[in-house]
Amino acid sequence: MNRRELLAVLGAVAASPALAQANPEERLALGRLLHHTPQGPLRALTAAQHTLLSEVADLVIPRTDTPGALDVRVPEFIDLLLADWYDAAERDRMLAGLNEIGLRRQGPSPLAAVLETLDGTRGEPASAEWAFERFKSLIVYGYFTSEAVQRDVLRYNPLPGRFDGCVPL
């Protein structure tokens, strides 16, 4: 199994707290709807937070021979989720955690090293560890529900095969 296949599996099972009640078909439908929503100015993220989230998304799913998270506009997708789907308290915790990630980066460590220390660790709500876990899940969710990835990478066919309704069993 290569990295992309692993991310596809993780994306299929990753559950964001805001989407925990939805079944997989509802999550896919929601992802498609949100990707087709016109994007205007940022609604939940500041410009600095958007830049940081873009760098995080590019490190989680970089461009290779397939599009990366930035190619399918995952940071804008997450901004839309934060603005329209998260309640204010959860959004504030997420953004506080993102800001904490940015503060940890300002030391001598590059962002990749900071994310490696955060990955797989548990933290209190609004901490960098807590936020990175949630943002990573949203990055994977946003990536794998984008039309370009569904069509060109996963080669998802919503109507596989043909339907023969009058075939004797």
Is the distance from CB of 39 to CB of 80 less than 8 angstroms? yes
pLDDT of amino acid 162: 75
User: So what's the pLDDT on residue 157?
Assistant: 77
Q: Answer whether residue 33 is part of any domain.
A: no
Residue with tokens 């993220």: 45
Task: Answer yes or no: is pLDDT of 15 > 50.
Answer: no
User: Would residue 3 count as lying in a domain?
Assistant: no
Closest alpha carbon to 135 in 103, 105, 95: 95
Say how far apart CA 148 and CA 18 lie, in whole Å.
24
Where do we find the tokens 């490696």? 116
Residue, of 127 and 41, whose pLDDT is higher: 127
- In this structure, is residue 5 part of a structural domain? no
In a domain, 105, yes or no: yes
Q: What is the pLDDT of residue 18?
A: 57
Range of the structural domain that residue 102 is part of: 43-153
Structure tokens at 165: 């309704």
| 26 assigned to some structural domain | no
Range 148-152 average pLDDT: 91
Per residue in 31-68, pLDDT (tens digit) is 777 666 556 689 999 999 999 999 999 999 999 999 99
Q: Does any domain span residue 78? A: yes
- Asked if residue 10 belongs to a domain, the reply is no
**How many domains does the chain fold into?**
1
Q: Tell me the pLDDT of the chain averaged across its residues.
A: 85
Per-residue pLDDT tens over the stretch 82-117: 999 999 999 999 999 999 999 998 877 799 999 999
- Residue 21 belongs to a domain: no
